[in-house]
Amino acid sequence: EPYEINLMEELTLKGVTQYYAFVQERQKVHCLNTLFSKLQINQSIIFCNSTQRVELLAKKITELGYCCYYIHAKMAQAHRNRVFHDFRQGLCRNLVCSDLFTRGIDVQAVNVVINFDFPRMAETYLHRIGRSGRFGHLGIAINLITYEDRFDLHRIEKELGTEIKPIPKIIDPALYVANISGCSGEA
Amino acid sequence: SSANVSGPDAEDNLPEWAMENPSEVGGTFDASGAFHGESGDDEGHKIENQSRNQSD
């Protein structure tokens, strides 16, 4: 039986409710801390735009008292694989990383994706937030947007034909917590 | 997991948030999606912290 290794399924944003929060650069960690305390995170992936920022942010999150792994492109592949395997096993709730996912996130338990740094390219945004499979995935994506990111936000929205709304004070758990909505996590 | 940034000018190219001490008090978001962190300019209500060590 031949083993198919590259199915190249379409990535979709279906089922993922996307929000943005306007924030100043120096307040980003405070904003992230606020999100951690407001959201019902099953598992989260947090994206940064450089390997240095990945390591710095992981250190900050750990200092705040949250469990957090990190992986980035400059780590040895074997080390990355081991950390990601442990994350997928659920050994840690939060993963900080740079752009490594080319076929979308295939970890069902991840119900929150945070762009701590907003990407420049629509393709990068799709690889970070998008899920493979026709039904997509129940979850939310939150984009931290600085003054400099505002044009990228609107351009990527247009390019992907998607909608990214201002983050509300309270986010309906049914949008991203599977057992509340009574469905198995498919949109 | 200590950051591998060292040397005399390391402080210069650190992002601003890396040098801030995130206050314990939670912030809030207004209707436009803007984050308000300083307690001075928002209601600054205290958000009870969930259990911090969420490793299960």
Residues in chain B: 56
Q: CB–CB of A139/A71 below 8 Å?
A: no
Confidence of residue B42 (pLDDT cuts 50, 70, 90): very low
Give the one of A26, A93, A169 whose C-beta lies nearest to B29's C-beta.
A169
What's residue A132's pLDDT?
75
Confidence of residue B22 (pLDDT cuts 50, 70, 90): low
Nearby residues of B17 by Cβ (< 8 Å), 6 or more positions away: A25, A26, A27, A28, A29, A30, A60
Cα separation of the two ends of chain B = 20
* String of DSSP letters for B2-52: -----SGGGGTTS-HHHHS---SS--EE-TTSBEE-SGGGS--PPPPP--S
User: A19, A32, A35, A37: which to substitute to probe chain B, counting the most B Cβ within 10 Å?
Assistant: A37
In eight-state DSSP terms, residue A19 is E
Entry pTM: 0.82
| Cβ–Cβ below 8 Å for A41 and B20 | no
What's residue B44's pLDDT?
40
Name the B residues in 1-56 with CB < 8 Å from any A CB: 1-5, 14-20, 22-23, 26-29, 31-35, 37, 47-50, 52-56
Backbone angles phi, psi at B13, to 5 degrees: -95, 20
A20 contacts in chain B (CB < 8 Å): 33
